[in-house]
Each structure stands twice: as structure tokens, then as C-alpha cells.
């Protein structure tokens, strides 16, 4: 199923990975590079902690509040849905969106908890129908390497055993649009690979590649 006809548009590129894999740094660098190349590009993040729903999520992630596992999963999904129309409008206007985390993180982190009833199928359901990214760049870094990086442990989910469980869930979510990136290398080397990959995605979308829906068939 598609939610856009074959018109030139911006690319929707998602970065995923376990915590501390370097996603934010690489996203920022890629946006700056694209802008320097004349591409209208913006950096987005999920959760968007500036919205009403996002503020509730931020309170949970920083351990200021406790929320039921199912309820917090639905909050993360609602946070994506409340940005859907703005996201589509940007893409249709020709803006390329580089997005730090998306629904894949929602599924991987909740399923990794092992809470009865909250399996992968249940976790996917609330996000079905959201725009599907044109490409996913997965920054792969072992849980042990992530734990050694600065700032690890500041948020609720930053525990090595849990991050390992999250990585296993991500592995099961991989699709044909995923690009696996070794995040254990130097920042510049990683960025060079990302720039090459992003250039092809931007070109394809500018040529009118249709936009699909999440958890559905890609066009």
C-alpha cells in the first residue's frame, strides 16, 4: 500500500540501533552534509519530547515516573502518529527527513522486556499504517562496546543485558530497506558510508519513488 503517488519528494531515512551507537552524531553530520550539497534536509527525533505525549515519555525515560509497559508502548506510538501529517507534508514539499529512531525501536525495546502478551505482533500493531521509511541505516554496536561509551546508564533502558536483548529484537525486524553499518569504526569512516547510501535514496525519491506504509508491502 502506498500513501503518495509517484511525484518528486523528499527522502525518509531512519537511523536505528541500540543506545550509544552514535546515531545522533551521524544524523547531525549527514543533515549538514546534505544541506551543503543543496538538499533541503531536516533532522527529526523520536520520541519527540517537545509534544504533550513526548513530555510524558521523557518523564518515563529519565525515571521520573513509572508507566505500565503496554501503556508506555502506546504512548511512543501516539508520539509518532501525532507527527504523521507534518512528516508527510515535509516529504511532499521536497524536504528530506533524517530521523533518529522510529517504530522499529518501539517494537524492539518493548518486545525485549519479555512482558507476557506484549509480543512482536502486538508491538507492531499500533504503528501499522504509518509512513514507511525509504531506507533504514542500522548502526550496529555490541552491547559491551556501547556500555563503554560516555553517558551510558543515564536513562532507563541503558543496561547491557537489556541492550543485548534489544539487539536480538532488531535482528528479527530487518527488512530489504535496511542497511547494516558497523558502528565500531571511526566517525568519519561511518559517515562516508552513510553519505554514499543517502545520496542514492535521495536521488530515487526525487525521481518519484512512491512512499509505502509501515508493516505493509513496499511498493
**176-189 pLDDT per residue, tens:** 999 999 999 999 99
- Residue 111 reports pLDDT greater than 90: yes
Q: By mean pLDDT, which of 62-66, 89-93, 215-219 is the weakest? A: 215-219
Burial 163-173 (b: 16+ CB within 10 A, else e): bbbbbebbeeb
Joined together, the cell numbers standing for residue 29 give 553530520
Residue matched to cell numbers 531506507: 135
Sequence-distant (≥ 6) Cβ neighbours of residue 52 within 8 angstroms: none
Mean pLDDT score, 3-26: 87
Q: By mean pLDDT, which of 64-78, 116-130, 153-167 is the weakest? A: 153-167
When the candidates are 3.40.50.11290, 3.40.50.300, 3.65.10.10, 3.40.50.620, the CATH number that belongs to 12-206 is 3.40.50.300
pLDDT (0 to 100) of residue 155: 63
pTM, entire model = 0.90
- Residue 15 reports pLDDT greater than 60: yes
Q: By mean pLDDT, which of 27-36, 92-101, 149-158 is the weakest? A: 149-158
pLDDT (0 to 100) of residue 218: 47
Q: Using DSSP bridges, classify how beta strands 12-16 and 135-140 pair: parallel, antiparallel or unpaired.
A: parallel
The whole-angstrom separation of Cα 10 and Cα 60 is 33
Sequence-distant (≥ 6) Cβ neighbours of residue 191 within 8 angstroms: 26, 29, 30, 33
Omega before 47 within 30 of 0, i.e. cis: yes
pLDDT (0 to 100) of residue 219: 39
DSSP assignment, residue 157? Answer: T
pLDDT category at 18 given cuts 50, 70, 90 is confident
Picking from 133, 138, 137, 190, the residue whose alpha carbon sits closest to that of residue 169 is 138
Paired strand residues for 181: 139
> H helices of the chain, where?
23-36, 52-61, 69-81, 84-92, 103-111, 120-124, 143-147, 160-173, 187-206
What is the average pLDDT score of the chain? 91
Amino acid at each position: 500500500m502506498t500513501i503518495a503517488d509517484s511525484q518528486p519528494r523528499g527522502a525518509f531515512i531512519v537511523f536505528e540501533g541500540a543506545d550509544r551507537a552514535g546515531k545522533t552524531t551521524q544524523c547531525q553530520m549527514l543533515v549538514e552534509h546534505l544541506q551543503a550539497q543543496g538538499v533541503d534536509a531536516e533532522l527529526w527525533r523520536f520520541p519527540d519530547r517537545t509534544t504533550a505525549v513526548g513530555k510524558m515519555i521523557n518523564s518515563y525515560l529519565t525515571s521520573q515516573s513509572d508507566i505500565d509497559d503496554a501503556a508506555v508502548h502506546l504512548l511512543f506510538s501516539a508520539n509518532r502518529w501525532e507527527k504523521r501529517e507534518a512528516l508527510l507534508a515535509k516529504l511532499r514539499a521536497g524536504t528530506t527527513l533524517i530521523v533518529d529512531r522510529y517504530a522499529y525501536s518501539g517494537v524492539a525495546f518493548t518486545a525485549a522486556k519479555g512482558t507476557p502478551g506484549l509480543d512482536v505482533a502486538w508491538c507492531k500493531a499500533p504503528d501499522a499504517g504509518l509512513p514507511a521509511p525509504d531506507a533504514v541505516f542500522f548502526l550496529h554496536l555490541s552491547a559491551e562496546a556501547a556500555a563503554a561509551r560516555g553517558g551510558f546508564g543515564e536513562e532507563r533502558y541503558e543496561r547491557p543485558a537489556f541492550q543485548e536483548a534489544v539487539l536480538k529484537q532488531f535482528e528479527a525486524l530487518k527488512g530489504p530497506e535496511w542497511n547494516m553499518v558497523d558502528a565500531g569504526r571511526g566517525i568519519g569512516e561511518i559517515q562516508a558510508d552513510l553519505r554514499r547510501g543517502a545520496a542514492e535514496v535521495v536521488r530515487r525519491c526525487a525521481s518519484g519513488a512512491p512512499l509505502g506504509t509501515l508493516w505493509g508491502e513496499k511498493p
